[in-house]
Amino acid sequence: MYKNIVAFIQEVYKTKDFLPLHEPLFIGNEKKYLNDCIDSTFVSSVGKYVDRFEEEFAKKVGSKYAIATVNGTAALHVSLILAGVTKDDEVITQPLTFIATCNAIEYIGAKSVFVDVDVDTMGLSPDALEIFLEENCEIRNGACVNKTTNKTIKACVPMHTFGHACRIDEILEVCTKWHITLVEDAAESLGSFYKEKHTGTFGKVSAFSFNGNKIITSGGGGVIVTDDEVLAKRAKHLTTTAKIPHKWEYVHDCVGFNYRMPNLNAALLVAQLEQLEVFLVSKRELALKYEIFFEENKEIEFIKQPENSSSNYWLQAIIVKDVKKRDAFLDYTNTNGVMTRPIWKLMNELEMFKECQCGDLKNAKYLEERVVNITSSVRV
Ligand SMILES: Cc1ncc(COP(=O)(O)O)c(C=O)c1O
């Protein structure tokens, strides 16, 4: 059976050569803008491509402001600071995510609290969130306090797994009721919508990534988006070493970060952003091919976009229903030139996060044991 799957993927990609999980594609103005950037000598922290990217990105996702950063982790780190998270606070997130989500929380000195995901979205479950808060928390002086630890739960960070939107409007509702600030980890979901609104525009502040494996890439890069002018200004300030603008003086008013995106990367990204619609069509066409192919398969389920959403299908994913067969699938495909990869280990099972408080994580565990990413590169 696995032989058929490998043959199908090779047929879709019209090659028997090794197929990586996700390759970037440069088919537009990338070289032109990079050359222009090099010719201008503005390859570093100042230049027109950074401003242009920020403007065009904000327009693309429908947010008021976008602040480019050196990577998505840096964008998340600063987003959490903007949300008011400080040392000793707690932040609710999902256990099924890439490590950067929890690392960013740790950078502040805050602690992750893990709440379960929904099986269909693979993202934070608003129902599990509500249950966790009802059972463990109370409002004291306008803040959500965890009764077990006596710490404030300042923010909640859901993630749109592989570009599938979680039930973000319901999550926002729960967060608002419990005085918790919503920060979206939209690293994987550029081009994904929930109820026709772009992911990453529901939270007070959100972060995207343009790492080499993302739907568009700047080599490395990220962006913070928000509709709040004060937060946007603070984001720019904090990501550019907190330097007070002056013709010649170097005065900084707090400990900031060198998290800015170089103009060179922004040049690449402006060209990539121009291709986004082409990439989205290709990803969604590929998803449809997989969906039809796996329809008759009793052992493997292709993961389709959840209700009320339009996915970018950044990484295509399947569920190997019988846990015992997952490794055989991974072994066969990877040995036969088609790269596949299991979903992440649960964060709460990693050494650094073992002490973190958890809700009931049965859905996350079910998915962790069965979800596998399959070939997802755009081909045009
Ligand atoms: C869910 C998630 N959060 C955060 C990040 C961090 O982004 P970056 O690699 O650009 O730092 C990534 C991607 O790498 C991610 O997939």
pLDDT number for residue 299: 96
Any atom of ligand 1 within 6 Å of the Cβ of 217:
no
Give the pLDDT band of residue 171 (cuts 50, 70, 90). Answer: very high
For the whole prediction, is pTM greater than 0.75?
A: yes
Average pLDDT, the chain: 97
CA of 339 to the centre of ligand 1 (A): 20
Average pLDDT, stretch 156-179? 98
Any atom of ligand 1 within 6 Å of the Cβ of 161:
no
CA of 362 to the centre of ligand 1 (A): 24
pLDDT at 1 over 80: no
Give the pLDDT band of residue 45 (cuts 50, 70, 90). Answer: confident
pLDDT number for residue 340: 98
Average pLDDT, stretch 58-78? 98
Atom 4 in ligand 1: residue holding the nearest Cα: 100
CA of 98 to the centre of ligand 1 (A): 7
Nearest-atom number in ligand 1 for the CA of 209 is: 10
Give the pLDDT band of residue 379 (cuts 50, 70, 90). Answer: confident
pLDDT number for residue 6: 98
pLDDT number for residue 326: 97
pLDDT number for residue 380: 82
pLDDT at 223 over 90: yes
Average pLDDT, stretch 44-58? 95
Any atom of ligand 1 within 6 Å of the Cβ of 363:
no
Residue to substitute in 159, 162, 188 for testing ligand 1 pocket (most ligand atoms within 8 angstroms of CB): 188
Average pLDDT, stretch 123-143? 98
Any atom of ligand 1 within 6 Å of the Cβ of 100:
yes
Give the pLDDT band of residue 280 (cuts 50, 70, 90). Answer: very high
Any atom of ligand 1 within 6 Å of the Cβ of 72:
yes
Any atom of ligand 1 within 6 Å of the Cβ of 184:
no
What tokens appear for 287 in the block? 């998803």
Atom 1 in ligand 1: residue holding the nearest Cα: 98
Q: What is the pLDDT of residues 242-277, one digit of tens each?
A: 999 999 999 999 999 999 999 999 999 999 999 999
Q: Which one-letter amino acid corresponds to residue 272?
A: Q
pLDDT at 232 over 90: yes
> Whole-angstrom Cα distance, residue 305 to residue 136?
32
Q: Which one-letter amino acid corresponds to residue 368?
A: E
Q: What is the pLDDT of residues 310-361, one digit of tens each?
A: 999 999 999 999 999 999 999 999 999 999 999 999 999 999 999 999 999 9
Any atom of ligand 1 within 6 Å of the Cβ of 97:
yes
Nearest-atom number in ligand 1 for the CA of 159 is: 1
Any atom of ligand 1 within 6 Å of the Cβ of 211:
yes
Asked if 243 contacts 221 with a C-beta cutoff of 8 angstroms, the reply is no
Average pLDDT, stretch 70-87? 98
Nearest-atom number in ligand 1 for the CA of 73 is: 11
Average pLDDT, stretch 280-301? 97
pLDDT number for residue 46: 84
